[in-house]
Amino acid sequence: MSTSKELFLEERRPEILRLVRHRGRVSVIELSHQLGVSGATIRSDLQSLADQNLIIRTHGGAIPCKVGFNELSLALRRQRQINEKLRIGKKAAAMVTDGDAIFLDSSSTTLAIAQYLKDHRNLTILTNSLVIAQEMLDATGVTVVMPGGKVRQDTASLVRPDNLGLLERLNIQKGFFGAHGITVADGLMDVSPEEAEFKLSLVAECREIIIVLDRTKWGRVGLTSFARLEEIDLVITDSQAPPDLIDQVREAGTKVILV
């Protein structure tokens, strides 16, 4: 089915990703025709998606990349942008006070936050991350609450929680979320529909939404959005994040802190 109007970049690349996954193989020519843009534009889009390990470029087109539709394993993600994540984690942890109840998702950047929270007292952490729960075992002043659900092995996390009523009973002051990508059009995105669904539930329950991500996540697209920009109170990112995209997010009304 062809389209009569040209899609904006923020709309076009997720659509290309969907088509590659659905069809198994696409060509520059058919994408150019269907999306109403030049072949050069499509090749640029495909290269960007390939650079993010979301697809594999082929001669004249692209095929799906298995890694692209499943988040990189936690072990691999922890090895990327280590110093940036530590700075972001330290800044985010400084916003947590004794007695708070907070949420930490299963991202590698929120794990960096947890490492700075061990000396807190009367702190409650709600998380779906098995790794964060293990990290806090020796933190005597911290109570960890987990929602239950199905274990997702590649991220060592729990998804599809079987007791969502638990979330409604907790008074969660701050929610800290990582993301696969952020754009003005789509907000915060994940590549796992299950992770995104769980995060979506928590966004609705947290009083304050704080996003923690490094420079590589800006402008990236994912399969599923879990938060709009207007729902986000603060983004903490590293100082090398793209200034033009930061300006767009700030113009949309969301505060951004660089570390």
Provide the CATH number for the domain around residue 184: 3.40.50.1360
User: Alpha-carbon distance 255 to 246, whole Å?
Assistant: 9
Percent of the chain with pLDDT over 70: 90
Domain extent for 37: 9-69
In a domain, 4, yes or no: no
Sorted by sequence, the CB contacts under 8 Å of residue 20 that are 6+ apart come out as 26, 49, 55, 62, 63, 64
Domain co-membership, 246 together with 163: yes
Q: Are 188 and 179 in contact (CB under 8 A)?
A: yes
- At position 186, the amino acid (one-letter code) is D
- What's the half-sphere exposure (Cβ side, CA atoms, 13 Å) at 235? 33
- Per-residue pLDDT tens over the stretch 154-172: 788 999 887 777 777 889 9
Domain co-membership, 154 together with 133: yes
Domain co-membership, 150 together with 182: yes
Among 81-85, 182-186, 230-234, the range scoring the smallest mean pLDDT is 81-85
Domain co-membership, 125 together with 46: no
Whether 4 shows a pLDDT value over 70: the answer reads: no
Q: What is the CATH number of the domain that holds 43?
A: 1.10.10.10
For the segment 8-25, the average pLDDT, to the nearest whole number, is 82
Query: Confidence band (pLDDT; 50, 70, 90) for 208?
Result: very high
For the segment 3-12, the average pLDDT, to the nearest whole number, is 62
In a domain, 236, yes or no: yes
Domain co-membership, 89 together with 197: yes
User: Alpha-carbon distance 10 to 48, whole Å?
Assistant: 12
How many domains are contained in the chain? Answer: 2
Domain co-membership, 63 together with 189: no
pTM beyond cutoff 0.85: no
Domain co-membership, 22 together with 134: no
- Per-residue pLDDT tens over the stretch 25-37: 899 999 999 998 9
In a domain, 46, yes or no: yes
Whether 95 shows a pLDDT value over 70: the answer reads: yes
